[in-house]
Amino acid sequence: MAGNTYYSGPVSDHFDGTAFFNPGGIEPRGGFDLLRWKFNGLNVAWPESFPSPFAQAMPETRVSGDRLVVTMVGHAAMLVQIAGLNILTDPVWSERTSPVSFAGPKRVNPPGIRMGDLPPIDVVIVTHNHYDHLDLETLRVLQSRDKPHFVTPLGNDAIIRSKVPDAKITVMDWGGRETISPGIALHCEPCHHWSARGMGDRRMALWAAFVIETPAGKVYHIGDTGFHQGINYRAAKEKHGGFRLANLPFGAYEPRWFMAGQHQNPEEAVDGMLLCDAAFVAGHHWGTFKLTDEGIEQPVEALRAALDKRGIDHERFRPMRPGEVFEVPAISV
């Protein structure tokens, strides 16, 4: 492997001096396995269009007090409004999640909020550099609109600055804490994933989950993760004491032999909800971009079965659709 093009820093328990890794975890599979997957004949076709039952949303300018409102844009992009702040997670407004505009996964429904209808954005969380989470054109537009505070794990700042050179970026390592306004902090926490923008930069930038700590409660946002025996969920519960809301991925998981190390399935997502002690979940990473083999509604069917198996009310884990607005109930602490 050549030298790291994004980051240089000391060796740690998840950085070997050149590449990042998941301690005790699973490395991403290589090219042979990729071909084996792509030619397995098990891919379930998606419709060209999968309209949301919700109209494109017109979010409030701000929410305050103990209110927490989440509005789904699509995939892992969500507007989180809490404690007077407007926070976007993994924002993607582009038509494709790809290094080129003419090929690659194409959205099958429009963003749940028009870019022009967004309230002023204060913070943008980018969890890692895969194209379905780090969309440079969207970040450029957000910078021109609002000049938000970008927060991202180690190495991703180099990628963002290639398109948004004047961005205000806080770069965080696992275990880091950053105060973003009085009484509000972001924590950077481990998840089990990997990173790459092309063939030559595998695992050169870090991936992470984030905890938003506010007087109105804590929000746990995971862009992508393998279940990893629940290790990171247990650690989050031990450190943070549970969550009012967790934004958890539950799609893009088949075939399991290829995807288990990077994408949890619906049953694992429900296990994660319980392990991290999340009162409610905004489920994402399904129904917008086709990345894997399962059918478009298969994740929701499997999610409902997993919730029923554990006797959990479906309202506690909502498979969010573009334009859907989730006013998250307050919880007693």
DSSP class of 94:
S
Q: Residue 122: its pLDDT value, please?
A: 98
The answer to whether the CB of 318 falls within 8 A of the CB of 283 is: yes
Walk me through the domains of the chain, giving residue ranges and CATH numbers: 55-327 (3.60.15.10)
Q: Residue 296: its pLDDT value, please?
A: 98
Q: Are strands 149-153 and 123-125 parallel, antiparallel or unpaired?
A: parallel
pLDDT tens per residue across span 143-171:
999 999 999 999 999 999 999 999 999 99
Q: Residue 1: its pLDDT value, please?
A: 45
Other beta carbons within 10 angstroms of residue 64's beta carbon come to 12
Alpha-helical runs (H) found in the chain: 31-38, 136-146, 156-161, 231-240, 256-259, 266-276, 298-310
Q: Residue 29: its pLDDT value, please?
A: 86
Q: Residue 333: its pLDDT value, please?
A: 55
Q: Which residues pair with 192 in a beta bridge?
A: 226
Extract the residue ranges of the chain whose pLDDT is less than 70.
1-2, 332-333
Alpha-carbon dihedral angle through residues 137, 140, 144, 146, given to the nearest 10 degrees: 100
Q: DSSP string covering 191-219, please?
A: -B----SSTT-TT-S---EEEEEETTEEE
Q: DSSP string covering 103-153, please?
A: SS-B-SS--SS-GGGPPPP-EEE----STTT--HHHHHHHHHHH--EEEEE
DSSP class of 46:
P
Which of 330, 261, 263, 323 is CA-nearest to residue 292?
263
Other beta carbons within 10 angstroms of residue 150's beta carbon come to 23
pLDDT tens per residue across span 215-245:
999 999 999 999 999 999 999 999 999 999 9
By CB neighbour count within 10 A (0-12 exposed, 13-18 middle, 19+ buried), where does 31 fall? exposed
d(CA 256, CA 264): 9
Q: Residue 37: its pLDDT value, please?
A: 85
Could you give the count of Cα atoms lying within 13 Å of 97 in the half-sphere of its Cβ? 21
pTM for the whole structure:
0.96
Q: Residue 268: its pLDDT value, please?
A: 98
Cα–Cα distances (Å) from 212 to 172, 186, 189, 278, 332, in that order, read 14, 5, 11, 13, 18
Q: Residue 103: its pLDDT value, please?
A: 86
